[in-house]
Amino acid sequence: MLGFLIVLSFVFGPIQVLKFYGVPYMIFVMWLDMVTYLHHHGHEQKLPWYRGKEWSYLRGGLTTIDRDYGLFNNIQHDIGTHVIHHLFPQIPHYHLIEATRAAKPVMGKYYREPKKSAVFPVHLVKDLVRSIREDHYVSDTGDVVFYQTDPQIFGSSRNKLE
């Protein structure tokens, strides 16, 4: 691919390749990173991290979060159905909504219902910002740990951001 992009740069120019390949690629990578981050962070209730003998495949899967990405749910293969994807990764994407619907009663209190989105998931910006500001690290000790906030990261400027 790199060779192909170099050839395209000679044929069309590096600025054109950057505009039509580089920028969309960077936007896609940022979107994918944000989606992945939000499926594992930034919930109103602090989600535990399990280690050692406390960790199990089931516990790990249940500490992910479904999100509603509005229009992007369908465009990206039902991307909001993350919990069932972690529990049963062999389920194809076109059955994830149906599987989530069937599994919710079994999961009970362990399933966290996602906030409904408008067409564009602008409500997730608040969750992302809050998580970046609060979820800095987990303790090095303990088998069940939660994200903690490092007050030195924002320090006195934290109040200015609010």
Q: Is 137 helix (H, G, I), strand (E, B) or coil?
A: strand
Checking 37-40 for CB contacts under 8 A at 24+ apart, the result is 37/128, 37/131, 38/65, 38/67, 38/124, 38/127, 38/128, 38/131, 39/64, 39/65, 39/66, 39/67, 39/82, 40/64, 40/65
Q: Burial level of 147, CB count in 10 A (0-12/13-18/19+)?
A: middle
Burial 111-145 (b: 16+ CB within 10 A, else e): bbebeebeeebeebeebeeebeebbeeeeeeeeeb
Which of 17-26, 130-139, 143-152 tops mean pLDDT?
17-26
Percent above pLDDT 70 for the chain: 94
Which of the pair, 43 or 162, is modelled with greater confidence? 43
Q: What is the mean pLDDT of residues 80-97?
A: 93
Confidence of residue 30 (pLDDT cuts 50, 70, 90): very high
pLDDT tens digits, 92-141: 999 999 999 999 999 998 888 888 888 898 889 988 998 888 888 889 99
Confidence of residue 155 (pLDDT cuts 50, 70, 90): low
Which pLDDT belongs to residue 159? 46
CB atoms within 10 A of CB 92: 9
Cα 20 versus chain centre, distance: 26
Whether the pTM exceeds 0.85: the reply is no
| Cα dihedral across residues 26, 29, 31, 37: positive or negative | negative
Which pLDDT belongs to residue 41? 84
Which pLDDT belongs to residue 109? 86
Residues with Cβ within 8 Å of 158's Cβ and at least 6 positions away in sequence, in order, are 133, 151
Q: Which residue's entry shows tokens 């740069």? A: 9
